[in-house]
Structure 1
């Protein structure tokens, strides 16, 4: 069995590699050569933590496995990231454990890559302003990945605690982009692309705050009850997601579906756009929304890529198991 520790991931996985792996997963899912298994995600009744499993099998790539982990809100005070996870890969022919891979950085990279793929596929070509809602650990990853998809000139951002936006300001400056902390109203009025990356259980962006032609990548809602945008926003937008079943149960679209504002059949798999089976953006005036719920196959794809790199570079630890 191979082990690739968390400390080795940064030197192995790049944003480009994560983008390619995640885009490939979207395509495989839509082609029905890969499938995710039902998600388990529960409050454990200790440390205010959410814990669960995401798993699946990609027949083409022979990626079989799971990611185990969750969210511990008190970890920052202990010098740890709030999201903690480990990825397990299994041999599809024998069921033996093939590899154990540190999943924290990989989760951040694949989540950012999913948003980036949605921008690549759905955002207008003439985007100037990137809006970021949220300033937690994941926000900087989102900014770096999404900024590479269009010729953005500046970044506007909002967070409930404005002082936490300094970390995003530094990233924007590194990328040569202007930066301004703004109100939600200003963010919606100025942004061509908006990424929401929070753990909110109440809608942050409201109907009427988003201008025509905007692409939204909603990346924070991955649990029943979480919500980043008002359900009414979905009514007059084109809707896309990674996996429809997950989107309407634990993702952003759970809310407009439950309220009867939209029907499941209105939601399009992003993979179908990548494969050419469905149209993406149909006009520069259209609002597009991508609900990135996060699927286990993405974790398996980036972990498998890391294992291959680690073996090639002699970094993977091989142990009897």
Structure 2
């Protein structure tokens, strides 16, 4: 029989630390560029305006694994006291085809999505940035904030703006230090004590502030992360100061938009996957408005392997469009699997 490791959300929380996930996501981008990783066509289906599923799959040649992630979103689940996101990442050996792991996909997705924007920030943002603005205080926000803290050594304050509720932003900001400590330090204390200690100390150095005025918050930020389901621009071009780096996370289907397309007139555009970004990501909007062309966008993997140039000076505005690629999930899942073997975590079952 095939022995398969099953990892639930608790396993993921105790096995993965954000700095390590940032590194493997960076590897995933590089592998896409060097062709050491293959991305296979995405399968997407919308059941309704409030429910959809997508399957992302691919191959990591150096790790000798392939696999897929199926993630479902059912927006009305909150009314049924159920999470909105469900799904599984499945890993297989590329040498034998034997299944190796079944892993909780929502738990993994939080880490790898936060890590994705952190990789871009590390490559593109001004390293001396002191103020971060997070637009959106939903389930992804804590992961985005922790990941940015990991790559911005001079960061002093995090502004949180919630376009739906300023009250929610205030509550979120107040609870954030404890939440970050539990999620990203306490959970890994047993397996990664040194990393946990560093994360705890770093969290203590940051001020978390609810922002009620998006205009002032945008003007004060050197790094911005948008993580909302918005279908209209939340960040206007005239608010953004020179030298700002923006990670656009929310747009993942046609019609979604978080940024004013006029921003792209005076910015350099980057993406995780050019085809996805121009079709369903934030990049679709300035292309439709004829402000940029698809060829004007640089894939972040090209910057990482030094095939293309990242930030060229301290004054330019850079925008990274993150739509998510299968290689991120496979790298993060493989990291979790290897650590599960090392720390004897999860459950091994016979199929």
Q: Does 1:153 align with 2:156?
A: yes
Cα offset for 1:188? 1.5
State the secondary structure of the residue aligned to 2:121.
Answer: helix
Q: Whole-Å Cα distance in 1 between the matches of residues 177 and 43 of structure 2?
A: 36
Q: Whole-Å Cα distance in 1 between the matches of residues 118 and 33 of structure 2?
A: 18
Greater mean alpha carbon deviation, residues 311-320 or residues 8-17: 311-320
1:109-161 Cα offsets, whole Å, 9 max, x none, are: 00000111111111112211111100101111111110222211112221121
Which residue is equivalent to 1:180? 210
Q: Does 1:171 align with 2:176?
A: yes
Q: Does 1:251 align with 2:281?
A: yes
Q: 2:296 aligns with which of 262, 266, 276?
A: 266
Contact in 2 for aligned 1:63/1:301 (Cα 8 Å): no
Q: Whole-Å Cα distance in 1 between the matches of residues 217 and 79 of structure 2?
A: 30
Cα offset for 1:183? 1.5
State the secondary structure of the residue aligned to 1:319.
Answer: strand
Q: Whole-Å Cα distance in 1 between the matches of residues 346 and 146 of structure 2?
A: 27
**Mind listing any 5+ residue stretches in structure 2 that lack a counterpart?**
182-202
Q: 1:230 aligns with which of 234, 243, 260?
A: 260
- TM-score normalized by the length of structure 1: 0.95
Q: Does 1:23 align with 2:26?
A: yes
1:236-286 Cα offsets, whole Å, 9 max, x none, are: 111111111111111110111122211111111111111111111011110
Q: Whole-Å Cα distance in 1 between the matches of residues 92 and 115 of structure 2?
A: 24
Which residue is equivalent to 1:134? 136
State the secondary structure of the residue aligned to 1:277.
Answer: coil
State the secondary structure of the residue aligned to 1:208.
Answer: helix
Q: Aligned residues, how many?
A: 320
Contact in 1 for aligned 2:19/2:150 (Cα 8 Å): no
Q: Whole-Å Cα distance in 1 between the matches of residues 174 and 147 of structure 2?
A: 15
User: In the TM superposition, what are the counterparts of 1:300-319 in structure 2 within 5 Å?
Assistant: 300-319=330-349
Q: Whole-Å Cα distance in 2 between the matches of residues 191 and 117 of structure 1?
A: 18
Cα offset for 1:193? 0.2
Q: 2:67 aligns with which of 45, 65, 69?
A: 65
User: In the TM superposition, what are the counterparts of 1:1-20 in structure 2 within 5 Å?
Assistant: 1-20=4-23
1:147-182 Cα offsets, whole Å, 9 max, x none, are: 222211112221121111122343258723222313
Q: Whole-Å Cα distance in 1 between the matches of residues 151 and 237 of structure 2?
A: 26
**Mind listing any 5+ residue stretches in structure 1 that lack a counterpart?**
none
Which residue is equivalent to 2:247? 217
Cα offset for 1:80? 4.0
- TM-score normalized by the length of structure 2: 0.87
Q: CA RMSD in A?
A: 1.7
Q: Whole-Å Cα distance in 2 between the matches of residues 172 and 248 of structure 1?
A: 36
Q: Whose helix fraction is larger, Structure 1's or Structure 2's?
A: 2
